[in-house]
Structure 1
C-alpha cells in the first residue's frame, strides 16, 4: 500500500494539488492546514470533501481555539497577521473541523506499527529535527509503542533512528523551510516501511499573486516562499 504523507500545507492550495498528483492508494495529512497562505478555506474544504485523515497542528489549534500557536518571535507577527485573515475566511463548519482534529493517528500496517503526529508524540508544539539531541528525542518518545514515527512541524524532511524507532518527516508541502523552494511530501510503503521524499515544482507565482491580492501587508511571506524559509527559525 502506497500512502501519500503530506504536512504543513499552510493555505497553499496549489502546492497541495501538486502533491496529490503523486500516485498513491491513500493519504494522510500531519496538520497545519492554515496560516501564512492565501487559500485556507480551499485547503480545508479539500480535506473534508476527500475524507482525508488530518492531524491537528499548532496552527490549526490556534485558529480554532484562539490559543497561541507557539511560534518564535521572528515570525510571530506573520502568524498573527495571517490568522486574522484566515479566521475571516472560514465559516463555523470549517472552524469546527479544525477544532475536532485528532492529535495523533495510529495504524497497524503489514510492515509494522506506525504513529502519526504533528510535532512530538507528547505535544504539537515540540520539534523533532535532524539536529535535536538524541537524549531530548528519547524523552519525547517515552511510552511510544511504534516501529515508525511520522512527524511534521519542522518543515524539514528527515529520517533518523532513535533506539528501535525510525522517525521520518515528509517536510512541508506549502511552506518548505530548508532552502529548497519546492513542495515537499513523501510516500510511505506500508508493506516494506520504505519512506521516499519528493520535491515538486509548482506554480508558485499564482500563490504569490494571491498573497499580494488578498494579504497586501504580508509581502514577507512571498520572500519566505521564494527562499524556502532561509533565515526563518521556527514555524
Structure 2
C-alpha cells in the first residue's frame, strides 16, 4: 500500500508546507496542487504544479504519475472553468489516459467518483472556502483501490 499526501492553495504560507510534511512523515508521495506561491527550490520534496498565482516558479501545468495500478494527473484546476467543471475534468483525465485527478483552485475539499474516474481536491491549507476547514488529504492506494482521508488543520 502506498500513501500519497496532497495539499493545495497554501498561498505563500510556506510554513504549512513544512507542517503537512511533519504531520505525515511517512508519505510515499507529496503532491502540491498549485498556488503554493513558493519558488521552485522550496518544493524539492514535492511534485508540484503551477497554479494561477504561482508567478515565481517554473512548475509544470500538469504532472502524470502512476501509483500501484492507478494513473494520476495533477493540475491546479483554474483551467476547468466553473460551468460544467466536472465534464471538463473528466475530459482532461480521458485525454491524459489517467484514472484520478488531483486538483485545487476552488479551496473546497472534494472526493467524487464519476463514470469510473476519481476527482479529488484537498481543499486549502490556509484560505478555505464554502464553509470548509483548512485541510489537506491523504490517499492510500492498493492496486486499483484507494481510500481518501481529509485532514482538518484546524485540529492541530
**TM-score normalized with structure 2 length:** 0.80
How far has the Cα of 1:11 moved from its partner? 1.0
Specify the alignment match of 2:7 in structure 1: 6
Determine which of 113, 120, 126 is the counterpart of 2:80: 126
**SS at the partner of 2:63?**
strand
**SS at the partner of 2:19?**
helix
2:14·2:36 contact (CA, 8 Å) conserved in 1? Answer: no
Specify the alignment match of 1:22 in structure 2: 23
Specify the alignment match of 2:70 in structure 1: 112
CA distance in 1, matches of 2:5, 2:111: 16
Q: How many positions carry a matched residue from both structures?
A: 151
Pair 1:59 & 2:53 matched: yes
**TM-score normalized with structure 1 length:** 0.56
Deviations 1:58-102 (A, max 9, x none): 111xx2xxxxxxxxxxxxxxxxxxxxxxxxxxxxxxx3xx1x211
1:183·1:202 contact (CA, 8 Å) conserved in 2? Answer: no
Q: Going by fraction, where is strand more abundant, 1 or 2?
A: 2
1:3·1:187 contact (CA, 8 Å) conserved in 2? Answer: yes
- Structure 1: gaps (5+ residues): 35-39, 64-94, 204-235
CA distance in 2, matches of 1:9, 1:155: 10
Q: 1:55 to 1:178 in 2, by over 3 A?
A: same
* 1:144-223 to 2 correspondences below 5 Å: 144-180=96-132, 182-191=133-142, 192-201=145-154
How far has the Cα of 1:103 moved from its partner? 1.0
CA distance in 2, matches of 1:46, 1:197: 24
User: What is the RMSD of the two structures over their aligned residues, measured on CA atoms?
Assistant: 2.6
Q: 1:134 to 1:179 in 2, by over 3 A?
A: closer
